[in-house]
Amino acid sequence: MRNSAEVVVVGGGIIGCSVASELAASGVDVLLLESRELAHGASGRNHGLVFYPQNLVTDPLYRLSHGIYRDLTASSDLDIGLDDEPVGFIIMVKSEDQWAAAEREARACEAGGVRIERLDGDQLRAAEPQVAGDMLGGWFIEDGYRLDPRALTLAMALSARSAGAEVRTHVDVKQILVRNGRAAGVVCDEGVVSAKTVVLAGGPWSPKLARTAGVNLEMSGARGWLMLVTPKGHVCDHLLESSGWHVQAGDPGPARVTAGSYGRGEDQAADIGLLIQPGAGGNLLLGGSRIPSLRQDPEGSQVARMIARKAVAAVPALAGAEVKEVWSGVRPMSRDGLPILGWAPQVEGLMIATGHGGQGVMLGAGSGRLVAEMVTGRDTFIDPSPFVVERGI
Ligand SMILES: Cc1cc2nc3c(=O)[nH]c(=O)nc-3n(C[C@H](O)[C@H](O)[C@H](O)COP(=O)(O)OP(=O)(O)OC[C@H]3O[C@@H](n4cnc5c(N)ncnc54)[C@H](O)[C@@H]3O)c2cc1C
């Protein structure tokens, strides 16, 4: 393997691949190192939904990302499968106390220019006849574009390669080298790769590597479980979501797991909602969970069963749906729900690009552009200050 590059990007998820693609397109000599395969982490294991992020701060990242995905869908050899039109969300309301959270999410979407509509029980069942009879109603949100997240990540890596980047898989970066307060490269099994700039895009594993450079990243991992099922007949046309599931601006971040709470087993206290996603070939994706991820082996495997129970309660026809596959992925969660995109304060030349939580697809390509602009010292297309590494969280 080569022993130097202008910029080393660590991580072959959507963020690392997007950064590498943007840097290479700007003529930078880039080497991307991924410890497993491309899209091995959450980037290849998520819902693949692109929708308004319900936060005005990230609005420009979202709009640029969506535009880049459209262009990539048109130009890539891979089938990215981005919907031309939104499939539409319905937030289901089961009890009176759920109306407020459902309306809050709908109004946050409306603030971003998305059409919304309140549905009473009859309107809900007219739109989705299979929904359980005890649902009071809901909110329709005209949003939600599906794509294949693994194909998207690979397409970005291919773009990076065709623009001249070197993309290496099965290379685990063990350490970020720091000399005299400056990033000097990385160390992996093959040896040292010198670089003046290191971009850390290691998803939920970023803090581990950041520590080797003496940098503390305020973030944690949240595992989400997904289940692919084949129903016996037609189940739904829209994305069906439980009230209060999506994170919005100002929501509290993930609770910190302490030795005390860990000892009491509270790290397994799951944040479980429900998201039923109609997909290709009549299959459905069931998901909607966030549980603290602290270990290498997947914790909380019972969570997928809880999601299945919730799904059947919301849509009884799902009881007979055949379960084809169950898997999980770990989201890189910042403390305030905003991505972490900026220079590490203590180490010159170390750029951090992570913390996208449940929005890494929605914001990925825009984040890659912003990081590339900062690395190359160009004007940035948005104010990067909300995303700085040290922001008192
Ligand atoms: C169940 C679920 C559903 C989701 N649904 C959506 C959705 O619908 N829409 C949306 O926008 N977002 C969604 N997300 C969130 C999205 O998947 C993440 O925000 C995004 O994938 C994060 O990308 P990343 O590149 O930062 O991290 P990752 O995908 O985790 O990539 C990081 C990569 O870095 C590599 N790496 C780590 N350490 C090293 C090292 N030392 N050396 C070399 N390589 C290393 C890892 O192997 C990994 O491949 C979902 C997530 C989950 C779990």
Distance 281 CA to ligand 1 centre (A): 26
Q: For residue 282, what is the domain's CATH number?
A: 3.30.9.10
pLDDT for the residue 379: 98
The structure's pTM equals: 0.97
Our mutation pick for probing the ligand 1 site, out of 33, 47, 371, counting the most ligand atoms within 8 A of Cβ, is 47
Is the Cβ–Cβ distance between 42 and 330 less than 8 Å? yes
Residue 138 lies in a domain: yes
The tokens describing 47, both together, are: 């819902």
Q: Which two tokens stand for residue 102?
A: 């459902």
Position 281 scores a pLDDT of 84
Q: Does residue 393 sit within a domain? A: no
Is residue 392, in this structure, part of any structural domain at all? no
Q: Which residues line ligand 1 (CB under 6 A)?
A: 10-16, 33-36, 40-43, 45-49, 172-173, 201-205, 209, 224, 226, 287, 329, 331-332, 354, 356-362
Confidence of residue 393 (pLDDT cuts 50, 70, 90): low
d(CA 145, CA 147): 7
> Does 150 score more than 70 pLDDT?
yes
* Closest Cα to atom 13 of ligand 1: 358
Asked if residue 99 belongs to a domain, the reply is yes
pLDDT computed for residue 181 by the predictor = 96
Q: Is the pLDDT score of 19 beyond 70?
A: yes
CA dihedral 126, 247, 270, 215 (to 10 degrees): 160
For residue 298, what pLDDT band results from cuts at 50, 70 and 90? Answer: confident
Q: Report, as an integer, the average pLDDT of 220-237.
A: 96
Residues 273 and 234 in one domain: yes
Q: What is the pLDDT of residues 73-105, one digit of tens each?
A: 999 999 999 999 999 999 999 999 999 999 999
pLDDT exceeds 80 at position 266: no
Length of the chain (residues) = 393
Q: What is the mean pLDDT of the chain?
A: 95
pLDDT band at 392 (very low <50, low <70, confident <90, very high): low
Q: Could you tell me if 260 and 380 lie in one domain?
A: no
Of 309, 333, 357, the last residue of a domain is 333
CA distances from 174 to 39, 191, 193 (A): 19, 10, 11
pLDDT at 61: 98
Where does a domain end: 333, 352, 374? 333
Total Cβ atoms within 10 A of residue 293: 23
Grade residue 261 by pLDDT with cuts at 50, 70 and 90: confident
Residue 383 lies in a domain: yes
pLDDT over 60 at 274, yes or no: yes
Which CATH number does the domain housing residue 154 bear?
A: 3.50.50.60
Domain shared by 329 and 343, yes or no: no
Please tell me the distance from the alpha carbon of residue 241 to that of residue 307, in angstroms, as a whole number: 12
Based on the domain organization, do 264 and 214 belong to the same domain? Answer: no
In angstroms, the CA 54 to CA 66 distance is 15
Q: Which of 17, 33, 34 has most ligand 1 atoms within 8 Å of its beta carbon, as the pocket-test mutant?
A: 34
Domain total of the chain: 2
Residues 6+ apart with CB under 8 A from 212: 174, 175, 176
Hey, which of 18, 37, 331 would you mutate to test ligand 1's pocket, going by the most ligand atoms within 8 Å of its Cβ?
331
Predicted pLDDT at 296: 80
Q: Does any domain span residue 209?
A: yes
How far away, in angstroms, is 378 Cα from ligand 1 center? 27
**Res 237: pLDDT:** 97
Q: What is the DSSP string of 181-210?
A: TEEEEEEETTEEEE-SEEEE--GGGHHHHH
Higher-scoring residue by pLDDT: 66, 248: 66
Question: What mean pLDDT is predicted for residues 184-197?
Answer: 97
For 112-139, what is the mean pLDDT? Answer: 97
Query: How much is the average pLDDT of 360-378?
Result: 98
Q: 42 C-alpha to center of ligand 1: Å?
A: 3
| pLDDT tens for each residue of 315-365 | 999 999 999 999 999 999 999 999 999 999 989 999 999 999 999 999 999
Say whether both 230 and 136 belong to one domain. Answer: yes
Domain boundary among 304, 333, 362: 333
- Residue 366 in this model has a pLDDT that exceeds 80: yes
Say whether both 250 and 304 belong to one domain.
Answer: yes
* Tokens (6 digits) for 122: 């009859």
- Atom 16 (ligand 1) nearest CA: 360
Distance 340 CA to ligand 1 centre (A): 14
Domain range for 325 is: 89-142+220-333
Nearest ligand 1 atom, CA 225: 1
The distance from CA 183 to its chain's CA centroid, rounded to whole angstroms, is 27
In this structure, the answer to whether residues 197 and 63 fall within a common structural domain is yes
Q: How confident is the model at residue 189 (pLDDT cuts 50, 70, 90)?
A: very high
Does residue 1 belong to any structural domain of this protein?
no
